[in-house]
Amino acid sequence: MSSIIQQLINGLILGSVYALLALGYTMVYGIIKLINFAHGDVYMLGAYFGYFFIKVMHFNFFIALVLSMFVSALLGMLIEFIAYRPLRQSPRIAVLISALGVSFLLENGMSYLYGSDKRAFPQAIKTIQYHFGGIQISNIQLIIISTAVTLMIVLTIIVKRTKMGRAMRAVSADQEAAVLMGINVNRTISFTFAIGSALAAAGGVLIGLYYNNIDPLMGMTPGIKAFVAAVLGGIGIIPGAALGGWLIGILETLTQAVGLSDYKDAVVYGILIVILLFKPTGILGKNKREKV
Amino acid sequence: MDKAHIKYTLSWATLVLMIFVFIYVTTIFDVIGQYGMTTIVLIGINLIAAVGLNLVIGMSGQFSLGHAGFMAIGAYATALVSSAIPSIYGFIISLIVGIMVSGVIALAVGLPTLRLSGDYLAIATLGVAEIIRIIIINMKSTRGAAGIFGIPNFVNWQVVFGLSVVAIVFVVNFVRSTTGQAIIAVRDNEIAAESLGINTTKYKVIAFVLGAMLAAIAGGLRASFIQSVSPQDYTFMQSITILIIVVLGGIGSISGTVVTAIVLGILDVILQNFGSLRMVIYALVLIIVMIFRPKGLLGTSEFSLKKILFDSGGDHGNNNSKNQ
């Protein structure tokens, strides 16, 4: 019994990182209907920024986390400005390919500049294990889950309570009507990318601290899994992304626990196909009637 | 078949024959060497895969990121079957097996996902390709991550050249068939096509399945030519390589695909010592082309011999160029 609870906790920790990533996917998809393939690579860059701030600048972990989120937010806005904004009126496929290009550019650019080898992420916080009965949890795991939950609460407040958040919801509901209401759509989209990228960067720094290593391709698989999480929860729905992230994390850990770790990625992709078969709108999604 | 059409077909045949003779002459005088020969064969194989992907992306407007998965199926079918029956018949059977398996899987993936509008197919195909790869890595008969070696080689440049021509002729004619026109109608306006009584899902699935089958042929040829297969050859990167050919050439333009496959094949040789810088260059080119020419370099227009040789300004009936 305690081992099941242990696996659930481990899944929840991993799931928190997927959830942070999935939030970015879901917000961007909600607002411009783009699968932002470069999102996983922003997560990778976030981890590298964190590495830089801790290892080179010798900042405290939490300061490094915030700085890395800030730089990544700027980067996200830059990517949107260069690679997606000129394509606003183009066919969707062109934007998707541009996103793939950005993803490719970031991965290979980082490999080219800093080498494709794994590098050790600095141990900014000393690991302490706590034991509760048969269950063990480390302070790092607690930091991951509490940071993730805090960021989600902040995000909810931004989206629900601020003017920018209202603009985001308006643009995602109906872009043309939003323009007529005097909302600056470009700025709203830019802001969405900034928030999404900051969350991804937080995920990257946290996972660096958790797994102790980072490499230029670390964003590929988590990126895709986070997208699956977003679809699972209901794409475009913010609480759905968090729910999906946690579910995928738990599912992955449980697959490993029953001895199928070779198939852990396959199971996640399998889930995607199952959702698309039975409920393409996701767990929290509502069926919308198609309008002509 | 009218006279003009025969003239037109014959002129294409002459062009193909001229290219064939040209390559043949270079092999006789050994101008390009063994390495050049390999490059030509790999260009041809990429071409077959890319023509298949263009059928999916360009003609039906669906976005597939799992082409490598279907190539892997073809490759492993050839590896397993032609190792068991090491004769030319075994090789042909292995290609057919690859095509069938690939087609069935494409059907199983396409039916649920192509009902949906949006980009679900992109992620679903990516997922399927990864599932295929993970299964290959973990299966006993496919010998895991090490792959299979010593596959008998039945592929030379003549075979690849012939099959590339067949693949191109097939796709071009398919696009002009009633089914092909229906697929294009669905791409151009799904709602309008549906209201004309076209079963949109059916035609999207047809294009997707045919694309997967062509990918399987390319994979089979490659396995036999390189004489080994391993799961690392068929990662997401391989899907992207084929995608780049289609996108740069022009989404929906077969001649664009042919030209880019050749140009990129040669560029690969020139840039091969640059390592990841080569990928950086490709990525930048991809983004820049999308920003300035979102439909690819050639758009949907086709290179037309008819226009060059026989164009008197009149009949454009058989021309599938959309830029007129």
Average pLDDT of adjacent 10-residue blocks, chain A of 292 residues? 85 94 92 90 95 91 94 96 91 86 92 89 86 86 93 93 92 91 93 95 94 91 91 88 94 88 86 83 74 50
Angstrom distance (rounded) from CA A229 to CA A224: 9
Whether residue B251 contacts residue A93, with contact meaning beta carbons closer than 8 Å, is answered with yes
A101: tokens are: 């290009």
pLDDT tens by residue, chain B, 324 residues: 577 778 778 888 888 888 888 888 887 777 777 788 888 888 999 999 999 999 998 888 888 888 999 999 999 999 899 888 888 898 899 999 999 999 999 998 888 888 776 677 788 888 888 888 888 888 877 787 788 888 888 888 888 899 999 999 898 889 889 998 998 898 888 888 888 888 888 998 999 999 999 999 999 999 989 888 988 888 888 888 898 888 888 888 888 888 889 988 888 888 877 777 888 888 898 899 888 888 777 776 777 766 666 655 444 444 444 343
In a domain, A184, yes or no: yes
In a domain, A188, yes or no: yes
In a domain, A192, yes or no: yes
Indicate yes or no: CB of A108 within 8 angstroms of CB of B276.
Answer: yes
Whether residue A83 contacts residue A102, with contact meaning beta carbons closer than 8 Å, is answered with yes
Which of chain B's residues have a Cβ under 8 Å away from the Cβ of A265? 130, 134
Angstrom distance (rounded) from CA A213 to CA A218: 9
Which of chain A's residues have a Cβ under 8 Å away from the Cβ of B112? 273, 276-277
Residue B64: count other Cβ atoms within 10 Å of its Cβ. Answer: 33
Query: In terms of Cα–Cα distance, which of A165, A139, A140, A142 is closest to A154?
Result: A165
The count of domains in chain A is 1
pLDDT of res. B320 = 43
Q: Chain-centre distance of CA A91, in angstroms?
A: 25
* Size of chain A in residues: 292
DSSP A100-140: HHHHHHHHHHHHHHH-SS-EEPP--S---EEEETTEEEEHH
Q: Please name the residues in contact with B245: beta carbons below 8 A apart, sequence gap of 6 or more.
A: B46, B47, B50, B53, B257, B260, B261, B264
Indicate yes or no: CB of B128 within 8 angstroms of CB of A101.
Answer: no
pLDDT of res. B1 = 56
pLDDT of res. A62 = 92
pLDDT of res. B306 = 65
pLDDT of res. B322 = 39
Return the number of CB contacts < 8 Å for A and B. Answer: 119
Name the residue facing A269 among B63, B131, B236 (closest C-beta): B131
pLDDT of res. A167 = 93
Supply the ipTM of this predicted assembly. 0.86
The shortest C-alpha distance from B272 to chain A (Å) reads 14
B126: tokens are: 């990516």
B280: tokens are: 């950086």
Angstrom distance (rounded) from CA A273 to CA B284: 32
In 3-state terms, chain A is what percent helix, strand and coil (to 5)? Answer: 75, 5, 20
In a domain, A160, yes or no: yes
* Residue A112 at interface with chain B, using a CB cutoff of 8 Å: yes
The shortest C-alpha distance from B288 to chain A (Å) reads 8
Whether residue B278 contacts residue B271, with contact meaning beta carbons closer than 8 Å, is answered with yes
Angstrom distance (rounded) from CA B75 to CA B221: 7
B161: tokens are: 């050249």
Q: Is the alpha carbon torsion for B215, B218, B222, B224 positive or negative?
A: positive
Residue-range definition of the domain harbouring residue A148: 22-218
Q: Chain-centre distance of CA B110, in angstroms?
A: 18
pLDDT of res. B238 = 87
Q: What is the pTM of this model?
A: 0.86
